[in-house]
Amino acid sequence: MKPVLLAFAIVLAIGTASSYILEPGPVVKATVGELWPKPKSQTSSPSYFILKRSSFQLKVTNRTCDILEKAIERYQKLILSVGSDERRSSAEVSKKSWRSDPNFIGNLEEVKVNLKAPCEQLPYLGMDESYELVIDETRASIDSFSIWGMLRGLESFSQLVVGNMLRVNTTTISDSPRFSHRGLLVDTSRHFISMNILMTILDGMAYNKLNVFHWHIVDDHAFPYQSTVYPELSAQGAYRPTMVYTPEDVQKVIEEARLRGIRVMSEFDTPGHTRSWGISHPELLTPCFDQYAGKFGPIDPTKESTYTFLYNLFQEVVGVFPDQYIHLGGDEVGFECWASNPDIMEYMKENRLYTFEMLEEQYIQRVVDQIDSLNRSSLVWQEVYVNGVRLPNGTVVHVWTGNRQDLLQRITGDGLPALLSTCWYLDHLAMGGDWRKFYECDPHDFVGNQKQKDLVLGGEACMWAEAVNDNNIVQRIFPRVSAVAEKLWSEEDVDDADEAARRLEEHTCRMNQRNIPAQPPNGPGFC
Amino acid sequence: MKPVLLAFAIVLAIGTASSYILEPGPVVKATVGELWPKPKSQTSSPSYFILKRSSFQLKVTNRTCDILEKAIERYQKLILSVGSDERRSSAEVSKKSWRSDPNFIGNLEEVKVNLKAPCEQLPYLGMDESYELVIDETRASIDSFSIWGMLRGLESFSQLVVGNMLRVNTTTISDSPRFSHRGLLVDTSRHFISMNILMTILDGMAYNKLNVFHWHIVDDHAFPYQSTVYPELSAQGAYRPTMVYTPEDVQKVIEEARLRGIRVMSEFDTPGHTRSWGISHPELLTPCFDQYAGKFGPIDPTKESTYTFLYNLFQEVVGVFPDQYIHLGGDEVGFECWASNPDIMEYMKENRLYTFEMLEEQYIQRVVDQIDSLNRSSLVWQEVYVNGVRLPNGTVVHVWTGNRQDLLQRITGDGLPALLSTCWYLDHLAMGGDWRKFYECDPHDFVGNQKQKDLVLGGEACMWAEAVNDNNIVQRIFPRVSAVAEKLWSEEDVDDADEAARRLEEHTCRMNQRNIPAQPPNGPGFC
């Protein structure tokens, strides 16, 4: 009987515990010198050059401008600091003589930075971000017809350089992004985020070829934007008088973003999400009655003074933020306060507005018209579209909740451009590296014709700040946002998460070496 | 018809959006000068003293020792730095004259530190951590019969001091912990955690009155513990030669913990979770066959050399770690490799071991006996108990998975002491502040008599490090571990999470001011 008993036990055991046999060391082995996001086309060979720390330079051979000069300064520094962590770890200094390695084909003294057209001053939706990169025996150059493409090419070249010896394999890259709007929303209202952290975030965005910093700058809880026409908004609405973005701060964010080819798109979300506006301007908000007595609801859309105030503010905003687009919000407008207010009800009756959606529509229509008259374009959250507001041609609808496929199909079917964020909420947490769920989402994964697909401008990862502040926001964004960045830059068929995992392991370490405190992407490991 | 239509719309709207009416500012208002964890008994009044920055001192009036002197130095510094963040924010400097405030009752020049018994050298399970604290018109003193209680009293006093003016209300506290084992497990194998981060964690533990640093120092992926008898274990098993804890590092952790009344309990988890041991000592592990050929499984329990090796190692370990307890692991032992190995099967047949549990039991029994012979006590993960290993009296069973109530009932019913971790896994993430789930768990929430309840020594929060490294481990631990700390220190009826939320908001800001980068606990807010 005994052997039978034993055999039975074995079967039982194997059924429950087959994952306990594993290898020591990192669970995902990092690639060496692979790019993130993956370029459109790339060929490489085992032959490699060595960059001399003492003399290597990125050499401008054609057009230049301040953006390019500063980028070269940044990338020269990043490239020469490659491998410094390995040098600290003495045992990893390569002892083998690369000079006798048949793959070693020489030193690389310079890479030609060949910008073939004058610089544009400001990044914009649809800007040219394409570039060509060649490192081989005949030449070493980055070519682009656009400063924005050149910035992406410099980033790519910097990622090719590896190891303490600054090795770079012969490589040919032809690259351009799949989507033109590749954004990161940062909420600076729920928690105030310091300027130095915002600078770190911009750096990290550049390392991932993201190009829109969507600044959700104010919200219900705090109003940190220091306005010049209404300084009382932040004087009373910021958490603390010191927790504000001064005009100089805002200009610094815009300038540092511009230098990295990143647009700064501001959001002044109305008519909901405006409670902090009402601290200094209670007359803007709807006073609630009945069970909500004493509280304030959304902006009061029935008063003419509301629109004067908003026009003055938006007139300032378009002067401050040079981007063509302003995000007008329009999400999560609660109707219960409007419903409790007799003046609102009376106004609706008089104006034959039979639903609150109609009241909201009237409000949004006027704000969109204001932005239109200021020669800017609008983005709105999906509710504005769903609630039936007639939107001017070109107004971008930002999808964030519900069935993304249905919404994208409907919005683009109606001829409106769309942005996707639904599947890319960075505040939604799960165990582990927690980036594969972001990587599984594709903005074109809906039923629609080519015209509809073309109306999807791209998407944004959203870092809502209820649970992040200076202490953890960078760690929470990176490297999880990298998954989104690759979905938006790389071709549709770049969708193998296991392949990506190895590159992301390297990319995360690269970000760490560049002082981005990105968290581990894949489980046990080290940089 | 129109009014009817409108009324219908209102009903619809209210049904979906009643949470959009809210107040500006922090979502949870922080308390001022409240303690975390909540003491056993406390009475306070609105009357307050002011501490003079220039002259205030914690004054030893009875026994003293190095632990006390160093604690006074730390707390003197912490107390005098209270409010420094407010001073930076000029607008918040109190302008009102406290001298004319009827609640102001004078300056506090000193607090008497009255240690009424000689210092013990090392913290231990069941040590006396009680203290009395009185600040009123007649006296200002912290009294304790134990250095460990005095450390807790100093922490409590430091938490009473608030604001730029260093105000402290008249207060009487009588305090002692509910459970004697209040631990935090830190896994330094899956990611290497630097010494300075470990020091920050110990500081944060002291601020939460936690008293056991459970050092899960090695595991499958890496072996960062630098052994003197087997230095090759870390030389080959660490991620990098620099990613090790030298004997000096380990002594520093033990010493800094000791000075804070924190035990350092080491874990050398066997026979599973030992893959990294096998890099330098493959003979220790079971070679797998058949579909696992080429791989290694758990420690080979059939070889006599295994036990010689372990004895040598544990003999070193008990010399290095002075704590009475050693955690022996014993979790997640996969049997499939043992099952594939003909030598193991032959051994089992010869020794009439009919199940792998019996083989495991034989192994654990010998290791437990080794620890016994070294005059130390053992802890084991629950599997060892569940698999039926006969454990020596006093061996602590550490519950971590499955039905905690059932397990605690069974373990304590069998007369064994138990520790709870099941509900306190810090690597289990959810949106938001993510601490209430930890706060809802009580170690006595199982069916059992008083004797059984008394066998629950306490519990531990577990920071498994698959997804944390130096960049995010402190942020992930704090303040979520604070919820566990309060469950383990405070009385059973301290279970109102809404009340706790306000104190935790303050406690988190206090930790931030003390350079613990704790993440936000409750949603929108600021410190």
Contact at CB, B13 and A430, closer than 8 angstroms = no
Catalytic residue among A332, A350, A361, A505: A332
Contact at CB, B472 and A468, closer than 8 angstroms = no
Q: Indicate if B366 and B434 belong to the same structural domain.
A: yes
The pLDDT-based confidence of B20 (bands split at 50, 70, 90) is: confident
Q: Which residues of B touch A221 (CB under 8 A)?
A: 24-27, 524-525
Q: What CATH number corresponds to the domain at position A358?
A: 3.20.20.80
| Residue A507 token pair | 């990319």
Per-residue pLDDT tens for A330-353? Answer: 999 989 999 999 999 999 999 999
The predicted pLDDT at position B175 comes to 98
- Higher-confidence residue of B85 and A382: namely A382
Query: Which of 176-205 (B) contact A at CB < 8 A?
Result: 189-192
Mean pLDDT, residues B176-191:
98
Are the C-beta atoms of B324 and B377 separated by less than 8 Å? yes
Q: Indicate if B160 and B272 belong to the same structural domain.
A: no
Task: Show which of A124, A157, A175 is a domain's final residue.
Answer: A175
Characterize the bridge pairing of strands B57-60 and B377-381: unpaired
- Higher-confidence residue of B12 and A251: namely A251
Query: Which of 288-317 (B) contact A at CB < 8 A?
Result: 288, 292, 295-298
Contact at CB, B526 and A240, closer than 8 angstroms = yes
Dihedral sign for Cα atoms in the order A470, A471, A475, A477: negative
Contact at CB, B278 and A24, closer than 8 angstroms = yes
The partner residue sitting opposite A339, judged by closest CB among B10, B92, B427, is: B10
Residue A85 has pLDDT above 80, yes or no: no
Contact at CB, A276 and B220, closer than 8 angstroms = no
The partner residue sitting opposite A220, judged by closest CB among B18, B22, B337, is: B22
The pLDDT-based confidence of A97 (bands split at 50, 70, 90) is: low
Contact status of A87 with chain B (Cβ, < 8 Å): no
- CA Rg, chain B, in Å? 26
| Residue A57 token pair | 């330079």
Q: Indicate if B286 and B161 belong to the same structural domain.
A: no
Cβ pairs bridging A and B (under 8 Å): 256
The pLDDT-based confidence of A94 (bands split at 50, 70, 90) is: low
Considering only A115-129, B19-33, B189-203, which range has the smallest mean pLDDT? Answer: B19-33
Are the C-beta atoms of A120 and A127 separated by less than 8 Å? yes
To the nearest whole Å, the CA of B295 is away from the closest chain A CA by 7
Question: Is A17 within the bounds of a domain?
Answer: no
Contact status of A275 with chain B (Cβ, < 8 Å): yes
The predicted pLDDT at position B392 comes to 83
| Residue B436 token pair | 């209430």
Residue B12 has pLDDT above 50, yes or no: no
Mean pLDDT, residues B7-19:
45
Contact status of A213 with chain B (Cβ, < 8 Å): no
Distance CA B466, CA A245 (A): 37
Q: Which residues of B touch A279 (CB under 8 A)?
A: 24
Question: Is A495 within the bounds of a domain?
Answer: yes
Among chain B residues, the shortest Cα distance to A9 is held by: B355
Contact at CB, B336 and A17, closer than 8 angstroms = yes
| Residue B93 token pair | 């400097």
Per-residue pLDDT tens for A422-449? Answer: 999 999 999 999 999 999 999 999 999 9
- CA Rg, chain A, in Å? 26
**Percent of chain A having pLDDT more than 90?**
91
The pLDDT-based confidence of B262 (bands split at 50, 70, 90) is: very high
Question: Is B255 within the bounds of a domain?
Answer: yes
Contact at CB, A465 and B17, closer than 8 angstroms = no
Q: Indicate if B287 and B368 belong to the same structural domain.
A: yes
Distance CA A267, CA A379 (A): 9
| Residue A496 token pair | 């193998």
The partner residue sitting opposite B467, judged by closest CB among A241, A272, A433, is: A433
Contact at CB, A430 and B429, closer than 8 angstroms = yes
To the nearest whole Å, the CA of B134 is away from the closest chain A CA by 34
Q: Indicate if B153 and B208 belong to the same structural domain.
A: no
Q: Annotated catalytic, A332? A: yes
Task: Show which of B142, B175, B208 is a domain's final residue.
Answer: B175
Q: Indicate if B145 and B203 belong to the same structural domain.
A: no
Residue whose tokens read 């566990």: B484
Question: Is A32 within the bounds of a domain?
Answer: no
Catalytic residue among B332, B350, B361, B491: B332
Contact at CB, B517 and A21, closer than 8 angstroms = no
Contact at CB, B354 and A222, closer than 8 angstroms = no
The sheet with strand B110-115 has its strands ordered as B57-60, B110-115, B140-144, B131-135, B167-175, B41-51, B104-108
Question: Is B278 within the bounds of a domain?
Answer: yes
Are the C-beta atoms of A214 and A184 separated by less than 8 Å? yes
Contact status of B402 with chain A (Cβ, < 8 Å): no
Contact status of A15 with chain B (Cβ, < 8 Å): no
Q: Indicate if A417 and A299 belong to the same structural domain.
A: yes
Q: Indicate if B402 and B322 belong to the same structural domain.
A: yes
Contact at CB, A520 and B25, closer than 8 angstroms = no
Contact at CB, B24 and A241, closer than 8 angstroms = no
Q: What CATH number corresponds to the domain at position A58?
A: 3.30.379.10
Query: How does the average pLDDT of chain A come out, rounded?
Result: 94
Question: Is B507 within the bounds of a domain?
Answer: yes
| Residue A75 token pair | 């990338």
Question: Is A10 within the bounds of a domain?
Answer: no
Q: Which residues of B touch A471 (CB under 8 A)?
A: 475, 512, 517-519
Question: Is A518 within the bounds of a domain?
Answer: no
The sheet with strand A57-60 has its strands ordered as A57-60, A110-115, A140-144, A131-135, A167-175, A41-51, A104-108
CB atoms within 10 A of CB A100: 7
Among chain A residues, the shortest Cα distance to B277 is held by: A24
- Greatest CA span in chain B, whole angstroms? 92
Among chain B residues, the shortest Cα distance to A297 is held by: B21
Distance CA B288, CA B292 (A): 5
Closest by Cα among B387, B403, B407, B385 to B395: B385
Q: Which residues of B touch A192 (CB under 8 A)?
A: 526
Task: Show which of B175, B202, B237 is a domain's final residue.
Answer: B175
Among chain B residues, the shortest Cα distance to A242 is held by: B89
By residue range, what is the domain housing residue B393? Answer: 181-513
Distance CA A487, CA A358 (A): 37
Closest by Cα among A369, A330, A362, A331 to A347: A362
Characterize the bridge pairing of strands B418-420 and B110-115: unpaired
Show Cβ contacts of residue B196 under 8 Å, excluding neighbours closer than 6 positions: none
Q: Indicate if A475 and A346 belong to the same structural domain.
A: yes
Query: Which of 415-454 (A) contact B at CB < 8 A?
Result: 427-434
Distance CA A378, CA A397 (A): 9
Among chain B residues, the shortest Cα distance to A24 is held by: B221
The predicted pLDDT at position A402 comes to 97
Closest by Cα among B87, B74, B82 to B51: B82
Containing A9, the helix (H) or strand (E) segment is helix A2-16
Q: Indicate if B367 and B226 belong to the same structural domain.
A: yes
The pLDDT-based confidence of B93 (bands split at 50, 70, 90) is: very low
Q: Indicate if A146 and A207 belong to the same structural domain.
A: no
Show Cβ contacts of residue B73 under 8 Å, excluding neighbours closer than 6 positions: none
Overall pTM surpassing 0.90 (yes/no): yes
Write the CA distances from A175 to A122, A134, A225, B21, integer angstroms.
21, 11, 37, 48
Per-residue pLDDT tens for B188-217? Answer: 999 999 999 999 999 999 999 999 999 999
Query: Which of 323-382 (B) contact A at CB < 8 A?
Result: 332-337, 339, 345, 348-349, 352, 354-357
The predicted pLDDT at position B9 comes to 42
Mean pLDDT, residues B41-48:
97
Containing A280, the helix (H) or strand (E) segment is helix A277-280
Helix (H, G, I), strand (E, B) or coil at B317: helix
Contact at CB, A191 and B520, closer than 8 angstroms = yes
Per-residue pLDDT tens for A472-511? Answer: 999 999 999 999 999 999 999 999 999 999 999 999 999 9
ipTM of predicted complex: 0.94
The partner residue sitting opposite A356, judged by closest CB among B13, B279, B467, is: B13
CB atoms within 10 A of CB B453: 13
Query: How does the average pLDDT of chain B come out, rounded?
Result: 94
Distance CA B308, CA B303 (A): 9
Residue B348 has pLDDT above 60, yes or no: yes
Number of domains in chain B: 2
Containing B111, the helix (H) or strand (E) segment is strand B110-115
DSSP string over A474-516: HHHHTTHHHHHHHHHHS-TT---HHHHHHHHHHHHHHHHHTT-
Angle between helices B304-320 and B356-373 (to 10 degrees): 40
Q: Indicate if B158 and B195 belong to the same structural domain.
A: no
The partner residue sitting opposite B432, judged by closest CB among A23, A354, A466, is: A466
The predicted pLDDT at position A393 comes to 87
| Residue A473 token pair | 């926001």
The predicted pLDDT at position B389 comes to 83
Mean pLDDT, residues A108-136:
98
Write the CA distances from A271 to A284, A396, B130, B366, B373, integer angstroms.
10, 18, 55, 71, 73
Contact status of A501 with chain B (Cβ, < 8 Å): no
Contact at CB, B336 and A14, closer than 8 angstroms = yes
Contact status of B55 with chain A (Cβ, < 8 Å): no
